[in-house]
Amino acid sequence: MKTTLYLTQTDTTIGFISQDPSKIDQAKRRLPNKHYIRAVNSLKILQEFSRVPNIHKNRVRRSKRTTFIMPNGLSFRVIKECNHNLLLDRLGWAYSSSANLSGAEYEEVYARDVTEVIVKFPSPLVGKASRIYRLGINSMQSIR
């Protein structure tokens, strides 16, 4: 299956989306040892990758623009009620990252040059990054 690198408006900012993390690594010129957030379109898809501890299930279900690092070390953001769902509904899930060089600001010309498919939405938004929480079996820690 050929994977594609998309440039699209995510729920928080303009970002690179792909089911292959190496495509995003190349676009961001970043070392491949870092992990990416997996954006999923439903809690059912999330269950395929990780189990949410019972104490945090309501928090994960009701959160918006929030990333959770699960006890297994994988990070997820459930995307709902935004235009980004149109793409995620087709893919089911995808790795997500901001559309810039690693550690740099967003540059539209660069992002368009390295992307294979550009998904246009009205009024693109370069917003703030999502909140990140690390979930433990009984606790939660704020990362960002």
* pLDDT cut 90: percent of the chain above it: 6
Using the predicted structure, report yes or no on whether residue 2 has a pLDDT greater than 70.
no
Beta bridge partners of 37: 96
> What is the average pLDDT value for the chain, to the nearest integer?
84
* DSSP secondary structure letter of residue 71: T
User: Distance between CA atoms of 140 and 131, rounded to whole angstroms?
Assistant: 13
Do the Cβ atoms of 70 and 141 come closer than 8 Å?
no
- 3-state SS track over 113-127: HHCCEECCCCCCCCC
Q: 69-85, pLDDT tens digit by residue? A: 988 888 998 888 777 77
Confidence at 122, pLDDT banded by 50, 70, 90: low
The verdict on residue 12 lying in a domain is: yes
The verdict on residue 47 lying in a domain is: yes
Quote the pLDDT of residue 125: 62
The verdict on residue 10 lying in a domain is: yes
- Number of domains, the chain: 1
Using the predicted structure, report yes or no on whether residue 1 has a pLDDT greater than 80.
no
Which parts of the chain are beta strand (E)?
Answer: 6-9, 14-18, 37-40, 66-69, 75-78, 93-98, 117-118, 131-135, 140-142
Greater confidence (121 vs 143) lies with 143
Average pLDDT of the residues in 100-127: 78
Using the predicted structure, report yes or no on whether residue 96 has a pLDDT greater than 80.
yes
Using the predicted structure, report yes or no on whether residue 31 has a pLDDT greater than 60.
yes
Structural domain for 44, as ranges: 6-142
Quote the pLDDT of residue 95: 92
Q: Where are the alpha helices (DSSP H) in 72-127?
A: 84-91, 108-114
Quote the pLDDT of residue 108: 82
User: Distance between CA atoms of 15 and 98, rounded to whole angstroms?
Assistant: 4
The verdict on residue 55 lying in a domain is: yes
The verdict on residue 50 lying in a domain is: yes
Can you say whether the dihedral through the CA atoms of 114, 117, 123, 129 is positive or negative?
A: negative
Q: 108-118, pLDDT tens digit by residue? A: 888 888 888 88
Q: Is the pTM of this model over 0.85?
A: no
The verdict on residue 1 lying in a domain is: no
- CATH number of the domain that 56 lies in? 3.90.870.10
The verdict on residue 29 lying in a domain is: yes
